[in-house]
């Protein structure tokens, strides 16, 4: 059965959101892009709570693009909870952030992130990064089997 390929973009900065969407759309890399503007929204979507109560949890995102500095619940906490929950523990998560702080990278990887990408300021590089990211996670990468999620 063909599964709709969804990306969950967790991003509080509307500019970054717009630029990411621009690139993804330009290269037709996503059927559906769900935007969460803080950590709570992201968790609500993933666990079918809050505004997303009753959502079909069988529809898991192909990848979660997670910013770190977020209102309400920050990105690393979101990651920690995702990994703790048996329903989402294998969910591919990519940290997409402005920071390349060592502490962030260490925590990210220790909490089980699948990849850590730093958003370049140079839009040409940014475009290339997001393009490759989309290609890799949506087309190349095989997601974990649904049954395990």
Instruction: Give the footprint of other proteins on this chain (CB under 8 A).
Output: 13, 15-16, 18-19, 22, 68-69, 97-102, 119-124, 126-127
21 or 57: CB nearest other proteins? 21
Please state the closest distance from residue 39 (CB atom) to other proteins, in A: 14
Spatial distance between the Cα atoms of 100 and 50, rounded to a whole number of angstroms: 32
Q: Shortest CA distance to 144 belongs to which of 112, 97, 106?
A: 112
- The answer to whether 88 and 46 have CB atoms below 8 angstroms apart is yes
Task: Give CA angle at 20 (81, 121), nearest 5°.
Answer: 100
Tokens of 41: 């929204």
Spatial distance between the Cα atoms of 88 and 117, rounded to a whole number of angstroms: 21
- The answer to whether 93 and 66 have CB atoms below 8 angstroms apart is yes
6 or 11: CB nearest other proteins? 11
End-to-end CA distance of the chain: 17
């Amino acid at each position: 059965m063909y599964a709709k390929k969804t990306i969950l973009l967790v991003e509080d900065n509307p500019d970054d959101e717009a630029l990411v969407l621009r690139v993804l759309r330009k290269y037709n890399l996503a059927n559906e892009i769900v935007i969460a503007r803080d950590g709570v929204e992201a968790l609500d979507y993933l666990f079918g709570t809050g505004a997303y109560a009753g959502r079909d949890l069988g529809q898991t995102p192909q990848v979660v693009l997670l910013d770190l500095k977020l209102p309400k619940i920050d990105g690393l906490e979101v990651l920690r909870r995702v990994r703790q929950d048996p329903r989402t523990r294998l969910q591919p998560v990519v940290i997409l952030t402005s920071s390349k702080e060592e502490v962030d990278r260490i925590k990210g990887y220790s909490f089980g992130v699948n990849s850590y990408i730093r958003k370049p300021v140079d839009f040409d590089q940014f475009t290339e990064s997001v393009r490759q990211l989309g290609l890799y996670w949506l087309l190349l990468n095989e997601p974990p089997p649904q049954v395990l999620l």
